[in-house]
A and B are shown apart, each in its own frame.
Chain A
Amino acid sequence: MSVPVEDPKARNKGFIEEVLKVYPEKTAKKRAKHLGTFEDGKADCGVKSNIKSIPGVMTIRGCAYAGSKGVVWGPIKDMIHISHGPVGCGQYSWASRRNYYIGTTGVDTFGTMQFTSDFQEKDIVFGGDKKLEKIIDEIQELFPLNKGISVQSECPIGLIGDDIEAVSKKKSKEYEGKTIVPVRCEGFRGVSQSLGHHIANDAIRDWVFDKSDGTRHPFEPSPYDVAIIGDYNIGGDAWSSRILLEEMGLRVIAQWSGDGTIAELENTPKAKLNVLHCYRSMNYISRHMEEKYGIPWVEYNFFGPSKIEASLREIASHFDDAIKENAEKVIAKYRPMMDAVIAKYRPRLEGKKVMLFVGGLRPRHVIGAYEDLGMEIVGTGYEFGHNDDYQRTTHYVKDGTLIYDDVTGYEFERFVDMVKPDLVGSGIKEKYVFQKMGVPFRQMHSWDYSGPYHGYDGFAIFARDMDMAINSPVWNLTKAPWAA
């Protein structure tokens, strides 16, 4: 590469030209729009997003079903979520996101179970509505403590013309107004998981809120009621967040949707404030509750002490002085522990360069946590972000950061090869590619089976994990001593 390395923008331009070379012309032209460099002062990151993935390039993206069943609905623990269609979708997404919950699985909670209609050829030919009716009956008989059922559509449902809405209505009536939610999240809809989130949000609006008069699960409201929106409790994230909100005197009346229940969903319209972590997957329902019930919402970021402090103050600013004072107390209480974590790990991580490629909020939200440890984000991108995500990203990234939207397997491998970061944070499909290359890696969807990473308790784990990954002695062993 003849481009001088001291100019990151020129360098990135060279890298991008390099990866585009190998594509057929038409594809190169399309991909060029998704690759760029953030420039200070710009309103977004200068890349196109939320556009169809190109066939055959090895996109990292998933589908609408993954966004609905896998992300939004799946964690609602006291409902049964039917993967409606062939067996695979439910099988591959079975308990794989570690949405932690408390309950007696199979009796009053069902989070780590795989319910499927296991479509056979005859169901495709003759339709699956009758089968769905029977499935709901069988669920009612064998799992009598379930508090609701959702029907998560797989690809064939929308193609064979099944009327899952009619079945849901009929069965709901038969079972005394039971919550039965048809979700049209067929995998071919939209361009990624993202539309699945939106469809799932809309289904909550139409089939939970609009069917509930809010009296089924009565409680006494308080002026300090908030709901956590867009935290899936991966490795317990929502819990290490909730504990802080409660410590500052707020009352968390609902978790959406990690460790969540149907009662919590139904009661959320009584909240005074919705606090939104994953904007991408749950901004829709937050906006709806603002319009319909007048509940304001505020985005927050509980990754790393800097962002946690700012977020606690921002959330407190919506309440009275007592809460504001409490927020300061919470910040003061945890500061010594945070200082100790940073004192321990920062010297080991200072100046290390990181490349990210994740989903939801993480390509921007985790940046502060890395920076608290003295690390630098040199590249980031969204699996299924929209332009409003890239706008929000401008508040996090530094001038000259390499940006790659819906990165392909080839591009990511080449970028990492050329940028040579000290750590890559992405998903299970990417993990072993980069480890083979000798590059330290952490899964940043599943926290690599660790976590929580949210909140103060989570940051200690995050810092320890990043140190573990980067400073593992294994990376000194990748070259045989006798190799040239």
Chain B
Amino acid sequence: MPQNAEKVIDHELLFREPEYTSMFAKKKSEFEFKPSDAKIAEINEWTKTAEYREKNFKREALTVNPAKACQPLGAVFAANGFKGTLPFVHGSQGCVAYYRSHFSRHFKEPTSCVSSSMTEDAAVFGGLNNMIDGLANTYNLYKPEMIAVSTTCMAEVIGDDLDAFIKTSKQKGSIPEDFDVPFAHTPAFVGSHITGYDNALKGIVQHFWTKEGERKPVPGKINFIGGFDGFVVGNMPVIRRMFDQMGVDYTVLCDPSDAWNTPTDGEFRMYDGGTTKEETMQALHASATIVFQEYSAEKTAKYIGEQGQEVVALNHPVGVTGTDRFLMEVSRLTGKPIPEALTKERGRLVDAIADSQAHLHGKKFALYGDPDLMLGLTGFLLELGAEPVTVLSTNGNDGWAAKVQALFDASPFGKGCKVYPKKDLWHLRSLLFTDPVDFLIGNTYGKYLERDCGVPLIRLGFPVFDRHHHHRFPIWGYEGSLRVLVTLLDEIFEAIDASTIVTAKTDISYDIIR
């Protein structure tokens, strides 16, 4: 009998017991009518070849294992960054169940969001009644300070007009006339989750800045926009700490780092932290806005620029030079010098890199993820003397690829490195076979590549479902860069240990000092 009351066996080991393995063999041989094991092995080997890779890269219509999600996910992220705000997604309700699950699996936190639950009748007649009833219910039930509306592809295909619907809802008295309901159309068939973040954020900013009226610039006051970021819980406190150390007058536009980081103390907080309405309105008067992830806020940045602010768009700068550049921009925009404490912190990061550079030098990496994250990590790897041999993004475009190429070209370690825009993880599987690397950087889904291609996965991306609490620690600033460095080094040392662990065979190099 495989199971045992004394020591209960989990699925991990239960199904390796002989009672089960013989059952599986019988099922396979009698009922599954699978191709022969030889045939399966032959095709498996074929998928590793250059010939397969060529066919794979000729794909025009099929996407397999993409590294991107759809717009409304990003819209929910953006809404969650504002105080007392409930995201309201107009369209089919299943989408909202998916966004909530997706975020909760990553952050291990509740994610509140409502749907207007449109069904067949709304597909025919439009979703106006769903909006009217939905806003009234949301307002009464969850007492938000603001409801931020976005759309699913269903509402977009039938052409529902959010502006008109929200106005009508107010006229019908479902919510007070002066209640804030910023909105954004976020069609899932355009762009990705980062586009949705951008649209939703622009919707919110535009709503409050229009309300605020005339801009009265305040010299030295700046805004900060982080972009869609799976590490937001860890990153935002680092950004705030650095601004505080510099004495900067700043506003973070969209900060969900408290909403997704609530304590377990007996109380469920549906809302926690976030940018206030007043802060959002006052942000109009800032002299400049720093966008930390350019591709996550393209339209927002353009809008802000049009209001007369200087916009500095960065590409997820991490590492020494990345953080240097960020801080120097802050200093330039605010006139505040970079304090000694940060210079010292920088020195400690350089110290750590110097201590470990021998282990990083020449190590080959493949990395995939959102376009800005890729630019930031590519820059950092090059700075570490590592080689980002393959850099891939499903939602990165040709312009993005040119920027990555420019990073390659500026470093001797970028020689022979290649960038792949608009490609998915099945493309990457081919690349990992034909252009092998030492390590892979990506999100949780990269573990299938780790299994198939035997390349260790380092989890830096979104989502991370299968490791707990990584998102609680920063990857931005000198502090976050140190954490990225340690993450890389841990995996490098683990790999050496794993390859030297066989007694009397490989363990001559199983060293205790490195």
Q: Within 8 Å of chain B (Cβ to Cβ): is A114?
A: yes
Contact with A along B47-91 (1 / 0, CB 8 A): 100001001100111111110111111000000000000001001
CB distance from B55 to the nearest CB of A (A): 6
Query: Besides A159-B154, A436-B265, 20 other CB < 8 A contacts?
Result: A22-B141, A23-B137, A24-B136, A27-B133, A55-B115, A55-B134, A55-B137, A58-B114, A63-B93, A64-B94, A85-B189, A86-B189, A116-B66, A119-B188, A188-B91, A219-B30, A263-B32, A340-B5, A429-B110, A457-B3
Let me know if B6 and A105 touch, CB within 8 A: no
Let me know if A413 and B94 touch, CB within 8 A: no
Task: Identify the stretch in B19-27, B285-293, B336-344, B356-364 within 8 Å (CB) of chain A at 4 or more residues.
Answer: B19-27
What are 21 A-B interface contacts by the 8 Å CB criterion?
A: A23-B140, A58-B114, A59-B93, A66-B97, A94-B65, A104-B40, A114-B65, A119-B153, A123-B189, A124-B189, A156-B153, A187-B154, A189-B119, A236-B14, A239-B24, A337-B3, A344-B6, A428-B105, A431-B110, A456-B3, A460-B3
| Cα separation A142 to B189 with both chains bound (whole Å) | 25
Per a CB cutoff under 8 Å, which of B24, B69, B95, B114 touches A102? B24
Q: Which of A72-124 contact B (CB under 8 A)?
A: 78, 85-89, 91-96, 100, 102-108, 112-121, 123-124
Q: Which of A99-157 contact B (CB under 8 A)?
A: 100, 102-108, 112-121, 123-124, 131-132, 134-135, 138-139, 141-142, 144-145, 154-156
Let me know if B66 and A436 touch, CB within 8 A: no
CB distance from A445 to the nearest CB of B (A): 10
Q: Within 8 Å of chain A (Cβ to Cβ): is B510?
A: no
Q: Within 8 Å of chain A (Cβ to Cβ): is B125?
A: no
Residues of B within 8 A of A95 (CB): 445
Residues of B within 8 A of A242 (CB): 23, 27
| Cα separation A437 to B426 with both chains bound (whole Å) | 42
Q: Within 8 Å of chain B (Cβ to Cβ): is A190?
A: yes
Closest to B445 in A: A94
Contact with A along B1-32 (1 / 0, CB 8 A): 11111101111001100011001100110111
Let me know if A142 and B56 touch, CB within 8 A: yes
Let me know if B137 and A436 touch, CB within 8 A: no
Most chain-A Cβ atoms within 10 A of its Cβ — which of B71, B141, B187, B452? B141
Contact with A along B359-375 (1 / 0, CB 8 A): 00000000000000000
| Cα separation A408 to B142 with both chains bound (whole Å) | 11
Q: Which of B104-160 contact A (CB under 8 A)?
A: 104-105, 108-120, 122-123, 130-131, 133-138, 140-142, 152-154, 157-158
Let me know if A263 and B264 touch, CB within 8 A: no
Let me know if B66 and A114 touch, CB within 8 A: yes
Let me know if A479 and B266 touch, CB within 8 A: yes
Q: Within 8 Å of chain A (Cβ to Cβ): is B406?
A: no
Closest to A254 in B: B31
Let me know if B114 and A88 touch, CB within 8 A: no
Let me know if B189 and A119 touch, CB within 8 A: yes
Contact with B along A405-437 (1 / 0, CB 8 A): 000111001000000000000011101111111
Q: Which of A149-196 contact B (CB under 8 A)?
A: 154-156, 158-160, 187-191, 193
Per a CB cutoff under 8 Å, which of B35, B52, B109, B426 touches A145? B35
Residues of A within 8 A of B300 (CB): none
| Cα separation A104 to B15 with both chains bound (whole Å) | 17
Residues of A within 8 A of B72 (CB): 88
Quick one: given A58-B142, A155-B92, A159-B158, are A121 and B189 in contact (CB under 8 Å)? Answer: yes
Quick one: given A56-B116, A62-B97, are A91 and B1 in contact (CB under 8 Å)? Answer: no
CB distance from A249 to the nearest CB of B (A): 14
Let me know if B268 and A413 touch, CB within 8 A: yes
Quick one: given A155-B154, A243-B23, are A88 and B95 in contact (CB under 8 Å)? Answer: yes
Quick one: given A135-B62, A263-B32, A438-B266, are A89 and B137 in contact (CB under 8 Å)? Answer: no
Closest to B1 in A: A337
Q: Which of A442-482 contact B (CB under 8 A)?
A: 450-452, 456-457, 460-461, 463-464, 474, 478-480
Quick one: given A63-B92, A155-B91, are A431 and B104 in contact (CB under 8 Å)? Answer: yes
| Cα separation A154 to B91 with both chains bound (whole Å) | 13
Quick one: given A138-B62, A145-B35, A461-B10, are A88 and B23 in contact (CB under 8 Å)? Answer: no
Let me know if B35 and A118 touch, CB within 8 A: no
Let me know if B266 and A429 touch, CB within 8 A: no
Interface size on A, residues (CB 8 A): 127
Let me know if A429 and B33 touch, CB within 8 A: no
Closest 8 pairs (CB-CB, A-B): A63-B94, A88-B70, A55-B134, A56-B134, A92-B98, A340-B5, A56-B137, A86-B188
| Cα separation A255 to B141 with both chains bound (whole Å) | 43
Residues of B within 8 A of A292 (CB): none
Let me know if A108 and B190 touch, CB within 8 A: no
Q: Within 8 Å of chain B (Cβ to Cβ): is A252?
A: yes
Q: Within 8 Å of chain B (Cβ to Cβ): is A286?
A: no
Q: Within 8 Å of chain B (Cβ to Cβ): is A299?
A: no
CB distance from A212 to the nearest CB of B (A): 12
Q: Within 8 Å of chain B (Cβ to Cβ): is A319?
A: no
Quick one: given A55-B137, A114-B64, are A188 and B111 in contact (CB under 8 Å)? Answer: no
Closest to B133 in A: A55
Let me know if A66 and B66 touch, CB within 8 A: no
Let me know if A159 and B123 touch, CB within 8 A: yes
Contact with A along B436-476 (1 / 0, CB 8 A): 00000000010010001000000000000000000000000
Let me know if A156 and B112 touch, CB within 8 A: no
Let me know if A432 and B98 touch, CB within 8 A: no
Q: Within 8 Å of chain B (Cβ to Cβ): is A57?
A: yes
| Cα separation A77 to B175 with both chains bound (whole Å) | 48
| Cα separation A429 to B15 with both chains bound (whole Å) | 29
Q: Within 8 Å of chain A (Cβ to Cβ): is B514?
A: no
Residues of B within 8 A of A460 (CB): 3-5, 8-9
Let me know if B122 and A188 touch, CB within 8 A: yes
Let me know if A134 and B61 touch, CB within 8 A: yes
| Cα separation A277 to B448 with both chains bound (whole Å) | 31
CB distance from A114 to the nearest CB of B (A): 5
CB distance from A423 to the nearest CB of B (A): 16
Contact with A along B176-194 (1 / 0, CB 8 A): 0000000000011110100
Residues of B within 8 A of A131 (CB): 61
CB distance from A18 to the nearest CB of B (A): 13
| Cα separation A158 to B123 with both chains bound (whole Å) | 10
Q: Within 8 Å of chain B (Cβ to Cβ): is A396?
A: no
Residues of B within 8 A of A217 (CB): 33
Q: Within 8 Å of chain B (Cβ to Cβ): is A341?
A: yes
| Cα separation A170 to B68 with both chains bound (whole Å) | 31
Let me know if B94 and A187 touch, CB within 8 A: yes
Let me know if B70 and A410 touch, CB within 8 A: no
| Cα separation A456 to B269 with both chains bound (whole Å) | 40
Let me know if A22 and B97 touch, CB within 8 A: no
Quick one: given A56-B88, A63-B93, A108-B34, are A89 and B267 in contact (CB under 8 Å)? Answer: no
Q: Within 8 Å of chain A (Cβ to Cβ): is B262?
A: yes
Q: Within 8 Å of chain B (Cβ to Cβ): is A261?
A: yes
Residues of A within 8 A of B118 (CB): 55, 188
Most chain-A Cβ atoms within 10 A of its Cβ — which of B28, B69, B134? B69
Residues of A within 8 A of B70 (CB): 86-88, 91
Q: Within 8 Å of chain A (Cβ to Cβ): is B102?
A: yes
Per a CB cutoff under 8 Å, which of A87, A246, A413 touches B63? A87
Residues of B within 8 A of A343 (CB): 5
Quick one: given A114-B64, A188-B122, A457-B3, are A87 and B188 in contact (CB under 8 Å)? Answer: yes
Residues of B within 8 A of A60 (CB): 97
Per a CB cutoff under 8 Å, which of A24, A57, A87, A263 touches B66? A87
Q: Within 8 Å of chain B (Cβ to Cβ): is A38?
A: no
Let me know if A56 and B269 touch, CB within 8 A: no
Let me know if B108 and A432 touch, CB within 8 A: yes
Quick one: given A118-B63, A432-B108, are A92 and B101 in contact (CB under 8 Å)? Answer: yes
Residues of A within 8 A of B97 (CB): 59-63, 66, 429
Quick one: given A87-B70, A135-B61, are A263 and B10 in contact (CB under 8 Å)? Answer: no
Residues of B within 8 A of A435 (CB): 264
Q: Within 8 Å of chain A (Cβ to Cβ): is B213?
A: no
Residues of B within 8 A of A452 (CB): 11, 14
